[in-house]
Amino acid sequence: MKDNLKFTLLVIGIIAVFFIMGRDILETRSKLRKTQDQIVQEKKEKAWLQDELKATRGELEKTDRSLRTANSKLSFVNKKIMVLKDSNFSLVKTKSDLEYRIVLLTEEKKFIEAKFHSLTDLKKAIRQVKLEIRGDKVRQRQERIKLQKEIDKWETASGNQGFLTKDGEEHYRPKVNVEVKPANISLNKK
């Protein structure tokens, strides 16, 4: 009986060990299923996050391209603004110069009007203008004469290609007509 008891205890111990091991196996399997479910869930989340990452990268690339385009447009606009500022500065300077000239010309006009109200000053001014006009005509005539002398020098240097000319008229005929007449035979007959 002792053997039976030992055997029974041994069997009960083995059953208890199997029972505990089965329960551990079931718990481990349930943990494994939960872990697998979590892994599947995490893989889904990872795939979703990767898709989101790709979409975000695509948007980032589009945004980067649009940013570069905007930067190039901005630099172009800045260059235009600088050119326009320079142009505006020169226009403002020109305007101020013109306003100054207008003031000077207005004062000069007032001075001339005051000067020409007297008849003697007006006559003097007319004589002066006539002298200036005459001087300009003389100067222009001298320049024409000088220019004509220069042209004549060049024409003389180039020559007249062998033709005899006097006062611009040709005195040499380029064609020579030679007439041949037979000799009179009747004069020498005896």
Q: What is the pLDDT of residues 167-178, one digit of tens each?
A: 767 666 556 666
Record the pTM. 0.36
For residue 187, pLDDT over 60 is answered with no
User: What pLDDT sits at residue 23?
Assistant: 86
User: Which residues are 169's β-sheet partners?
Assistant: 166
174 or 96, which is more confident?
Answer: 96
What is the gyration radius of the CA atoms in the chain, in angstroms?
61
Distance of alpha carbon 74 from alpha carbon 83, whole angstroms: 14
Residue-averaged pLDDT of the chain: 85
Q: How many C-beta atoms surround the C-beta of residue 27 within 10 A? A: 10
Q: How many C-beta atoms surround the C-beta of residue 80 within 10 A? A: 10
User: What pLDDT sits at residue 83?
Assistant: 92
18 or 36, which is more confident?
Answer: 36
